[in-house]
Amino acid sequence: MSGKLIDRIPTLALSDFLEGSKELKNKFVKDLGGAFESIGFVAIKNHGYSIESQSSLYSSIKEFYELPDELKIQYDGSKTGGQRGYTGKGKEHAAGRKVGDLKEFYHIGKEIKESSSLHYQPNIFPSEVPQFKTQTLHAYATLEKIGKNMLRAIALFLELDEGHFENKVDKGISILRPLHYFPIENPSTIQEGAVRAAEHGDINLITLLMGASAEGLEVKQRDGKWIPITAVQDCLVVNVGDMLQRYTNGRLKSTVHRVVNPTQEKMKTSRFSVPFFMHANPDMDLSCLSTCVSEDNPKKYEDITAEGFLMQRLKEIGLLS
């Protein structure tokens, strides 16, 4: 990360939690919780997803997005409720906005063959890029494992049993989203107010994001100022999502963030990014933890299940009608 951010967003080693001494593990839990209580973001190194694997993933993603639009649209995921396959340019927008974001993306999720649920339906993969399937499925499995370890640390910070989230995410409807912020050849052709990703909070429990191919991600501080985040190559940026904020009655912060448009001279270049949105099982009760409700911090959110909240939000951002 850039030097001016290091004081605001700590870099922690996941290996300290998994393999370190009791003191190192406790320090990781404390520092992680402190970051999630304040800005809601942290950078994680020594996480187990190799640079080589990340490079192979990005290569396959770039190859897919270089295909002509008429080929990409064959993998359109609109019939899956946007849960699988390709979503075209400008189709998603931030909640409360009508202007579509300047991006296209692909969704890969968990398959459960005996299930008829929208959430566990078969994935869609492009035949033109066979390594896309191999690399995205490997990324999904690896990031899901890392995410579960992060939730173990979060549980300890909340003074819960370390395995508190285990039966709440074992059939989690997490999504891997390879994103392409496409080049703008003629800025005068884009809709007024359109940006790569308008300000928003993530829907899920936590998000894991490997270093993007270009700058652009910004986080909104409590004072309303925006600060840029550029992860170093070997780090994952992990942030709190709205579901975890609800579950902890606002104790852990889902911070608003955005991806701004590049400078004029860089408008004709692509930006690639691959977030892993870690979701709970659909039936997880997101009712605020009783330990996070007090006279000083009264209950802020109505009771709802993870599925109920997800469906509500997907409609708000235009992926479900």
73 vs 219: CA distance, rounded Å: 32
Q: Which range among 3-7, 162-166, 287-291 shows the weakest confidence by mean pLDDT? A: 3-7
pLDDT at position 1 is 31
Cα 181 to chain centroid, rounded: 16
pLDDT at position 232 is 67
Tell me the pLDDT tens digit for each residue of 241-294: 999 999 999 999 998 888 776 666 677 788 898 999 999 999 999 999 999 999
Instruction: Tell me the β-bridge partners of 179.
Output: 105, 273
Q: Which range among 3-17, 76-90, 192-206, 299-313 shows the weakest confidence by mean pLDDT? A: 3-17
Tell me the pLDDT tens digit for each residue of 22-78: 999 999 999 999 999 988 989 999 999 999 999 999 999 999 999 999 999 999 998
Note whether 289 and 247 are within 8 A (CB): yes
Q: Which range among 99-103, 157-161, 221-225, 283-287 shows the weakest confidence by mean pLDDT? A: 99-103
Mean pLDDT of 286-313: 94
Instruction: Give 18-26 contacts, CB < 8 A, sequence gap 24+.
Output: 18/149
* Runs of H (alpha helix) within 3-50: 14-19, 22-38
Is it the case that residue 203 has pLDDT exceeding 80? yes
100 vs 180: CA distance, rounded Å: 14
Pick from 31, 104, 23, 19: which is nearest to 69 by CA? 104
Domains of the chain: 46-316 (2.60.120.330)
User: What residues have CB less than 8 Å from 173, skipping those under 6 apart?
Assistant: 109, 110, 119, 120, 279, 280, 281, 282, 306, 310
What count of other Cβ atoms lies within 10 Å of the Cβ of residue 232?
12
Note whether 99 and 93 are within 8 A (CB): yes
* Runs of H (alpha helix) within 39-181: 51-65, 69-72, 130-157, 166-169
Note whether 84 and 121 are within 8 A (CB): yes
Q: Is 265 helix (H, G, I), strand (E, B) or coil?
A: helix
What count of other Cβ atoms lies within 10 Å of the Cβ of residue 198?
21
Tell me the pLDDT tens digit for each residue of 95-141: 565 566 788 999 999 998 877 778 899 999 999 999 999 999 999 99
Pick from 37, 47, 39, 40: which is nearest to 12 by CA? 47
What phi, psi does 84 have (nearest 5°)? -140, 155
Mean pLDDT of 154-172: 97
What phi, psi does 106 have (nearest 5°)? -135, 145
Note whether 262 and 271 are within 8 A (CB): yes
Q: Among residues of the chain, what percentage have pLDDT more than 90?
A: 62
Note whether 219 and 250 are within 8 A (CB): no
- Is this structure's pTM higher than 0.85? yes
pLDDT level of residue 4 (50, 70, 90 thresholds): very low
Place of tokens 């979701």: 279
Pick from 316, 289, 292: which is nearest to 93 by CA? 316
CB-count burial class (<10 Å; 0-12, 13-18, 19+) for 272: middle
